[in-house]
Amino acid sequence: MTRLEIINRIDMTDEQGEIFDEAKENGWPVGGPFWAYIRIPDLMRQSLKLRGCLQDGPLSGRERQIINLVVARNWSAEYPWFAQVRGALVVGLEEKIIHSINQNRRPDFENFREQTVYELAKEMMENQSVSDKSFKIAEESLGLNDLIAAIASIGQFTMTCCTANAFKILPPEENIIPLL
């Protein structure tokens, strides 16, 4: 059970309601960890802006989803895993890749950039940094700007997973590929 009482729209302050309505109108997330963020409206607004900036950034949808799945798996974050599996399927990420990440096994990637973001996220989660060798490979594969976007994505989604875990925000029962 969640540690956080979900605020109904009618019970929100004006500022909470404003960002909630803006998020809904734009198709942005309002559930999961955002139930925590809404309590500090500027935190929700800024986290949505950062999410949007990264989503509109240089990484492909598949690359972002690989990063998010690795981060959610690392944190054993059930709600973020659930949400990212849905997103991964929407952008065409193969179920075998999702299952491999879920089982903490390295997927077989046909795309070197996808392999690179996987390995980058995995190393960041395991070591809280990347080796000089990994950095050089990532910079050569992705380019500096895309590498920056990948690292920022790892950090941004780590916040999401921490929030979900701390407040025990759980996925709905109709979870497509549950976290192992």
Decide: residue 104, CB within 10 A, 0-12 exposed, 13-18 middle, 19+ buried: exposed
Find the domain containing 69 and state its range.
61-166
Q: Is 173 inside any structural domain?
A: no
Residues 110 and 33 in one domain: no
Residues 80 and 150 in one domain: yes
Q: What pLDDT, in 10s, does the model give residues 48-91?
A: 999 999 999 999 999 999 999 999 999 999 999 999 999 999 99
Residues 89 and 145 in one domain: yes
Q: Is 94 inside any structural domain?
A: yes
Angle, helices 78-90/61-75, rounded to nearest 10 degrees: 160
Residues 87 and 117 in one domain: yes
Whether the per-residue pLDDT at 158 is higher than 90: the answer is yes
CB pairs under 8 A, 24+ apart, for 159-164?
Answer: 159/47, 160/32, 160/33, 160/77, 160/80, 161/71, 161/72, 161/74, 161/75, 161/77, 161/80, 162/75, 162/77, 163/33, 163/36, 163/37, 164/32, 164/33, 164/77, 164/78, 164/79, 164/80
CATH number at residue 136: 1.20.1290.10
Q: What pLDDT, in 10s, does the model give residues 77-129?
A: 999 999 999 999 999 999 999 999 999 999 999 999 999 999 999 999 999 99
Residues 50 and 71 in one domain: no
Residues 31 and 98 in one domain: no
**In this predicted structure, what is the pLDDT of residue 174?**
84
Residues 76 and 110 in one domain: yes
Work out the number of other CB atoms within 10 angstroms of the CB of residue 156.
17
**In this predicted structure, what is the pLDDT of residue 176?**
83
Residues 71 and 43 in one domain: no
Residues 162 and 109 in one domain: yes
Q: Is 4 inside any structural domain?
A: no
Q: How far apart are CA 123 and CA 69, in angstroms?
A: 14
